[in-house]
Amino acid sequence: MGELMGKPKTGSLHRRWLLNTVGVVCALGLICVFAVTTAFAAYYYSNLQSDMYRRAEETTYYFEDHLNRNYNEYYRSCITYAQTFQDRNTIELQFIDAQGGLVVSSCGNWAGGSPNTPEIAEAFSTRGIRPYVGKDPVTGERIIAMSSPMIYTNGEVIGVLRYVTSTRIMDLQILQVAGLSVGAFLVVLAVMLFSSNYYIRSILVPVAQITEKAKMIASGSYGTKIQTRYDDEIGELAQTINEMSAKIAQNERMQADFISSLSHELRTPLTAINGWSETLLFDDRLDEQTRRGMNIIHRETRRLTEMVVELLDFTRIQDGRFTLNVELTDIRGEFEDTVYMYGSRLAQDGIRLEYLDNDDDIPMIPCDPKRMRQVFLNILDNAAKHGGEGKRIEAAMTLEDGELVVRIRDHGPGIPEDEIPLVKKKFYKGSSKARGTGIGLAVCDEIVQLHGGTLDLENAPGGGTLVTVRLPVSE
């Protein structure tokens, strides 16, 4: 596939693709991370609670024999058991009396003071093993506790044995699991972004190339071919556009050939009609009504001849046969002659053409005088047809910043703003009711561009249309 000029424009489609994909994957990834972390946390906490419940239950059964003896022997057994508790490094064993005071702890008699978590009172009241998960009211540390009532032979609850452990290590393990889950998610996201970006570029690069060529076709480069190596929907799209471009080019050639042939065929009879109408008008024997009719024939024949010339110029531009005969020209003289000649014609229709003379030293420039006179006449004719209601047209030529500037302004209704970008397009007439082919300005624009200049139209301040032609001035 041919390379695009510069970096291909992927546009908002690329951003939308990535944003939508990343959004969905991020949402799913966060849900998975949350689910995995929650599952591990539930698993760890559940196992630890089960282990502590089992310990509390077994220790309670162990002390049932001592509860059948006197209190002193019972308390001595509690102290001995706490002091010999083997898992004191990870779990603390406490014995609490009926008043809630700490009797003994595997970490020392006064380790942390008397506990007051709610499961202790629940164990006294419900006479069953009760759990607690939360913060220690004294230290603020997260703990898991399991309290089991010690019931004397007479049915009295004389104390509670309590297992308690910090969840810090377990919480760190859960954080590690969460971190690993996030890391795995980021790796998956990076791989997905890389593969998605590669995939979307494999689509958008050929689409950008097709778009570039389609713009060239839309701008008039009919027959342009799109080279593609893909045998899929993108290749099918490119092939369809190629076929469309070829058919448009063929139709354009047929249209240009038809217009050229028709124009040539029309020139011969029009020349004869125009010549005979001029000859007959010199006959003094014509009555007034016949002379008026011959004037109409002569004027309309001349208008048709101008249209045929425009059509011929247009076909030459289309097929590349339009050329210039450049010579060093007194452009001011050509412009003034055109203005004065056309001014007398406009005066018959009650339109005043004002030439705004100035003292600028306009040099001679290399140009095609015949074609530039055609440009001036066409612009003046448009001003008369579309802005004649203002009954006044102004024309001026100045030298500005090394450029020759010609301005022609009418005082008519102006051009609708939405039509200004279109008025120089071929066959475009817009909302104007004036007669014409709609190609005069297109031909003028092409002529000015071939001279290296520009032709611009805009609505003038205060009303009317202003046409500005800028031509370079050679040193």
Length in residues, the chain: 475
pLDDT digits (tens, 9 = 90+) for 396-421: 999 988 899 999 999 888 888 888 88
The reported pLDDT for the residue numbered 433 is 58
CATH number of the domain at 266, please: 1.10.287.130
Which residues does residue 392 pair with via DSSP β-bridges, in sequence order? Answer: 352
pLDDT digits (tens, 9 = 90+) for 241-284: 777 877 877 777 777 677 667 666 777 787 888 788 878 778 77
Least confident span in 246-255, 285-294, 363-372: 246-255
86 lies in some domain:
yes
338 lies in some domain:
yes
Would you say 320 and 446 are in contact if contact means Cβ atoms under 8 Å apart?
no
- Helix extents (H) in 285-357: 288-318, 331-347
* Residue 331 and residue 434 share a domain: yes
**410 three-class SS:** strand
DSSP state letters, 107-130: T-TTTTS----HHHHHHHHH-S-E
Least confident span in 263-267, 322-326, 362-366, 471-475: 263-267
Our count of domains for the chain comes to 3
380 lies in some domain:
yes
Would you say 334 and 377 are in contact if contact means Cβ atoms under 8 Å apart?
no
Q: Which range marks the domain in which residue 120 is found?
A: 64-166
* Residue 334 and residue 310 share a domain: no
Of 212, 193, 196, which is closest to residue 1 (Cα–Cα)?
A: 212
116 lies in some domain:
yes
| pLDDT tier at 10, thresholds 50, 70, 90 | very low
> How far, in Å, CA of 85 to CA of 406, rounded?
108
20 lies in some domain:
no
* Residue 346 and residue 298 share a domain: no
438 lies in some domain:
yes
85 lies in some domain:
yes
| pLDDT tier at 394, thresholds 50, 70, 90 | very high
* Residue 115 and residue 240 share a domain: no
* Residue 333 and residue 314 share a domain: no
CATH number of the domain at 145, please: 3.30.450.20
* Residue 432 and residue 383 share a domain: yes
For residue 421, what is the DSSP state?
G
* Residue 467 and residue 333 share a domain: yes
* Residue 379 and residue 292 share a domain: no
Of 141, 137, 91, 95, which is closest to residue 117 (Cα–Cα)?
A: 137
* Residue 465 and residue 331 share a domain: yes
> How far, in Å, CA of 317 to CA of 457, rounded?
21
266 lies in some domain:
yes
CA torsion 214-218-219-220 (nearest 10°) is 110
